[in-house]
Chains A and B, each alone.
Chain A
Amino acid sequence: MGGIVNMSDTISSLKESIITYNRNLAREMATKAIGEGIEPNDILAGMTETIRKIGDDFGKGELFLPDLVGAASAMSEAISVVEAEIEKSGKEIEKIGTVVLGTVKGDIHDIGKTMVKTFLVAENFRVIDLGVDISSERFIEAIEKYNPEILALSALLTTTIAEQNRIIEVLKDKGIRDKVKVIIGGAATTQEFADEIGADGYEATAARAPRLCKTLLGKE
């Protein structure tokens, strides 16, 4: 990742766009950086450095959720441009791992799930956020399409946590349970429930989700 050393103006503008939560500028600068021939993985590394700093400041209590979510969402915007470029070149994306994330069917609670996404993006995970009220079929489709290491399921209702169980059963039926680690969370879930349904991991807060994922991937 030597590229960051001779950091171009474009990269510093890109970093600036993340710090100022400017989605349009982020997209524009990412496109420009690619046009200038900067190595895509170096562009990603530059952004990661910035978001890490923002994450640290959030951890210290100097920044707040709108700052973190704003920065992560500007960064996601730039990432989609860069990733498309990497895919075109046939190279590998330098990511810790890919996570498919969603709130389960029958449940539309969105806030906690979006926070999980933010913290994962900030820690250099590639996150495919399917949204809320997601059926097992759609989770399976996404697993087939994106080949993630981790499937993250959120549920806030006592009536929908059973759906997390069901998804695990469907994975077994399809013979793909071993392909992904399943983690669960959301206010109605507990470690005990995670054990009961045979999930690979549970965390009570979004901030701890990256650590959990890294542990499961043996990357910590």
Chain B
Amino acid sequence: MIRKKGITRNIRPLEILSEEQLESIHKNTLDVLENTGIRFESDKALKLFKENDCNVDMEKKIVRFPPWLVEECLRKCPSSFIVKGRGPRSDVRFGGNMSNFLPFPGKDTIDLETWEPRTPTRKEFYDTVKIMDALDTVHYTGSYVPWFGFKNTPAVMQMLEGDAANFRNSTMPLHCNYGNDCEVFAIRMAKALGAVNLGVVAISPPLTYQEDACISAFRNIEAGFPLYIQSGPTYGATSPVTTAGATVTNNAELMGGVVLAQLIKTGTGVLVSDFGFTQNMRSGYPVFGRIESSMHQVVFNQIWRRYKIPIGNHSTGVSNSKRIDYQCGYEKTISLMLSLLSGANEIGYHGCIYGELSFHPIQLILDDDVAATIGRFLQGVEVNDDTLAIDVINQVGPIPGTYLTEEHTRKWWKNEQFIPKSSDSLTYLEWMEANKKDCIEYAKDRMEKILQTHKPEPLSDSEEKAIEEILSEAREFYRKSGKISDKEWEACKEDVNSAGYPYY
């Protein structure tokens, strides 16, 4: 198994706030935490806060935080930590000047002729995980990655089916979601494979943690897993519309979660993630890919780097375009560029097209090129005797001198030039002879090649048995508790009993 390496940033991070601005946001955030507080809809969490010097209104479920406690808990978070997939060399470290990628989920796949969305099949899901496993710039995966479930899966089982598919067809660590107690089964799957998940806790803005989010925090930390805490405001609806104000609510929300994590267990690894978006002030729907999300993320990254806590950016993965086209390309690329330049450690990016609602493997492959391209930029410029090439410059001199014949060129060009795998690099003549192929067609070729040749490391027989047992136990559990309808149950049984199940 080859270790996938994250992207290293060797250049100074982009920062756009002055020291006073930064300090003002920090101070005001602590004020909001102390005066307005955060709502935690979990008695277990409220009790813990109360025992640890917070001012807790048990009836309204509001926790007000003393600033010293918040600052102490920020200091207690490790500046980097590790998650693990299955097998050796599958670990991923979050923190420092490294950036690791998670594909960004979409609800549906799309038809490349009509661009309309539709539910993917189980086979498409498993195949796409296989492609992710093969790509160098995809470092870890998640419950709803690539899609929010697939055909003939009961709604309540979609997350666990996604987890299983990812564990089966890749060795990568899992960004593991929660809800309806799914995380209990997901944690068992990870344990059966010796994996360490990144346990998700999602905030419900403004300033609220729902009960299941709190329970997810307890369960994951008790399993020894680090947490991924995400705030996802719609600017103007669930946060102030201004970048500064949204940063304050966002950070207050996240700091509440940081305190919870450190109170449950000191030293727990926490990754704070930002997934905010602009609102379309006509339809009320979020508009994805707008520059405000990036302004927000650059500010966010600057502040949390100061706290020395690993940072996630997720607004980077989404466009508002419904097609794989120019808009999709520029919206995703501009925001990824800014996120990487400003030092995000964890980025949701590949594959998604229209904001959380569609994902396609062709987009996944195109995004591999974009991530690698910016990764090349972040390597920075090497300046030393060899790269300065003064001897060669003096020797080649003016015309008719040429560098093409020089050993220096032969030695260095592959190191200097990054070649994207799916871009059109041809001249007009070559392009006409090659049937005017474009990047989408190159990506299609690459996809087919990966599907034919890539073989993910298989699970051992006992591991496979453990995963399938946990899945069937979960199915029975939800069926008995009434969360799977008769219709869903029939479709699910047919799927599970079909030839070739589970298609990997």
Contacts and interface: CB of A to CB of B under 8 A. Distances in A.
Contacts of B179: 159
Nearest to B155: A158
B433 to A, nearest CB: 47
A110 B238 contact: yes
Contact of A159 (B180, B204, B210, B283): B180
B236 interface: yes
A70 B279 CA distance: 16
A146 interface: no
A162 interface: yes
Interface in A154-176: 157-159, 162
B263 to A, nearest CB: 24
Given A111-B284, A159-B156, A159-B180, A65 B279 contact: yes
A65 B282 contact: yes
A90 interface: no
A112 interface: yes
A111 B155 contact: no
A218 interface: no
B278 interface: no
A158 B107 CA distance: 11
Nearest to B237: A111
A115 B284 contact: yes
A162 B281 contact: no
Contacts of B236: 66
Interface string A176-220: 000000000000000000000000000001100000000000000
A108 interface: yes
Contacts of B238: 110-111
Contacts of B339: none
A78 B485 CA distance: 45
B313 interface: no
B137 to A, nearest CB: 30
B281 A158 contact: no
Most chain A Cβ neighbours within 10 Å, of B148, B156, B238, B281: B281
A138 B94 CA distance: 44
Given A108-B210, A110-B238, A206 B284 contact: yes
A61 interface: yes
Given A158-B158, A159-B156, A162-B485, A65 B281 contact: yes
Nearest to B236: A66
A158 B158 CA distance: 10
A108 B237 CA distance: 14
A66 B281 contact: yes
Interface class of chain B by DSSP: loop
A35 B444 CA distance: 73
B155 A159 contact: yes
B284 A65 contact: yes
Contacts, number: 36
Interface in B103-160: 148-149, 155-156, 158
A66 B485 CA distance: 40
Interface in A112-134: 112, 115, 133
Interface in A84-105: none
Contacts of A159: 155-156, 179-180, 483
A133 B284 CA distance: 20
B485 A64 contact: no
Interface string B189-215: 000000000000000100010100000
Nearest to A111: B237
Contacts of B180: 159
A205 B285 CA distance: 11
Most chain A Cβ neighbours within 10 Å, of B148, B149, B236, B282: B282
Contacts of B282: 61, 64-65
A159 B157 CA distance: 10
A66 B241 CA distance: 11
Contacts of A206: 284
A206 B282 CA distance: 11
Contacts of B485: 162
A61 B282 CA distance: 8
A65 B485 CA distance: 38
Interface in B160-201: 179-180
B302 interface: no
Contact of A111 (B208, B210, B234): B234
A62 to B, nearest CB: 11
A133 to B, nearest CB: 8
B238 to A, nearest CB: 7
Interface in B227-261: 234, 236-238
A61 B280 CA distance: 12
Contacts of A133: 210
A43 B384 CA distance: 81
Nearest to B41: A133
Interface string A53-87: 00000000100111000000000000000000000
Contacts of B158: 158
A204 B283 CA distance: 11
A159 B179 CA distance: 10
Nearest to B211: A133
A108 B204 contact: yes
B143 to A, nearest CB: 13
A115 B279 CA distance: 13
Nearest to A206: B284
A113 to B, nearest CB: 10
Contacts of B234: 111
A193 to B, nearest CB: 12
A159 B485 CA distance: 11
B413 to A, nearest CB: 50
A112 B284 contact: yes
A108 B207 CA distance: 13
Contacts of B204: 108
Contacts of A115: 284
Given A61-B282, A111-B237, A162-B483, 16 more contacts: A65-B279, A65-B281, A65-B282, A65-B284, A66-B236, A108-B204, A111-B234, A111-B238, A111-B279, A115-B284, A133-B210, A158-B148, A158-B155, A158-B158, A159-B179, A159-B180
Interface of A: 61, 64-66, 108, 110-112, 115, 133, 157-159, 162, 205-206
5 contacts: A108-B208, A108-B210, A159-B156, A159-B179, A162-B485
List the 3 closest A-B pairs by CB distance, nearest first.
A64-B281, A158-B155, A65-B281
